Amino acid sequence: MFLDLDGTLLDLAATPDRVRVDGEVAALLPALAAHLDGAFALITGRAIADVDRLFPELALPIAGQHGCERRGANGAMHRHSVAGSLAELRERLGRLVARHDGLLLEDKGATLALHYRLAPRLAGYVHRAVRTEVALAAAAGANWCLQRGKRLVEVKPDGRDKGTAILEFMAEAPFRGRRAVFAGDDLTDEFGFAAVENLGGWAVKVGPGATRASYRLPDVNAVREWLAAAVRAEAA
């Protein structure tokens, strides 16, 4: 079982730091991991350190920053090197954000996310500006790509995504040899959907929107009830 976090297990908030974890989901995750004999991981765009802040009592397997970093079921950390530095791009996007109220630049370490949830009128401008900056970085030899999300655009290393992270987990114990299931809500999750379906697994889209996933749940509450029902069935 692989699960996205924001918009799948946790309700979205105006900014990433305002997302809150309630006791119900905090208790559900370790119960689900036990139910699956440890074959459970979070697959998120957040940094692993940020997820550990949200769940301080847990140390689950997790892929952070779209697979740029990954903690295996055995606790081993894997970080993928990238070509080029984010320093100049971070500075240039920081100046862009400073000129416009409502924009937020989230620096995750290996990736950058420019949020415009509080200024949706700037969506077109943000996408054009970030696309230009990434093209300039690529001309200088950097290996970055753009990833669209829900009212954000992200800069991440080319070749890394949630699908590659899931495939890496599936090559390791205790995931190896099992049917892969992945639930997510955003455009970034389509890579994960493709990976699990190519493996013969099940992809679950949360919320509205076009998708390649074969299954759908309407919202975060439905995801939690689905998972809790699986845990209850095991207990029974």
Confidence at residue 82, expressed as pLDDT on a 0 to 100 scale: 65
Q: Which of 93-107, 145-159, 203-217 has the lowest mean pLDDT?
A: 145-159
What tokens were used for 177?
């040899």
Mean pLDDT for all residues in the chain: 93
Residue pair 65/47 in contact (Cβ under 8 Å)? The answer is yes
> Does residue 124 register a pLDDT over 70?
yes
Position 83 scores a pLDDT of: 57
pLDDT of residue 235: 75
HSE of 194, CA atoms in CB hemisphere, 13 A: 10
What CA–CA distance (Å, rounded) separates 42 from 150? 19
11/172 Cα distance (integer angstroms) = 30
- Rounded Cα–Cα distance for residues 70 and 77 (Å): 6
The predicted model gives 152-175 an average pLDDT of 94
Q: Is a pLDDT exceeding 70 seen at residue 227? A: yes
Tokens of 84: 């080029």
Task: Please identify which of the residues 4, 6, 50, 185 carries the catalytic annotation.
Answer: 4
Per-residue pLDDT at 12 exceeds 90: yes
At 167, is the pLDDT very low, low, confident or very high (cuts 50, 70, 90)?
very high
Q: Is 52 a catalytic residue?
A: no
Q: What is the pTM of this model?
A: 0.89
Q: Is residue 166 within 8 Å of 196, Cβ to Cβ?
A: yes
Q: For residues 177 and 229, give the distance between their C-alpha atoms in angstroms, rounded to a whole number.
A: 24
Q: Is the pLDDT of residue 186 over 80?
A: yes
Domain with CATH 3.40.50.1000 in the chain: 2-80+160-235
Distance of alpha carbon 231 from alpha carbon 3, whole angstroms: 15
Res. 226 pLDDT band, cuts 50 70 90: very high
Other CB atoms within a 10 A radius of the CB of residue 132 amount to 11
Q: With beta carbons less than 8 A apart as the criterion, state whether 134 and 146 touch.
A: yes
pLDDT of residue 143: 81
The CATH superfamily label for domain 87-157 reads Trehalose-6-phosphate phosphatase related protein; domain 2 (3.30.70.1020)
Average pLDDT over residues 72-96: 86
For the chain, residues classed under CATH 3.30.70.1020 are 87-157
Confidence grade of residue 11 (pLDDT, cut at 50, 70, 90): very high
Per-residue confidence (pLDDT) for residue 84, from 0 to 100: 62
Classify each residue of 52-64 as buried b or exposed e, where b means 16 or more C-beta atoms within 10 Å of its C-beta.
Answer: bebbeeeebbbbb
H or E segment at 3? strand 2-3
- The Cα 194–Cα 213 span in angstroms is 8
* Right CATH for 2-80+160-235 from 2.40.50.180, 3.40.50.2000, 3.40.50.1000, 3.40.190.10: 3.40.50.1000
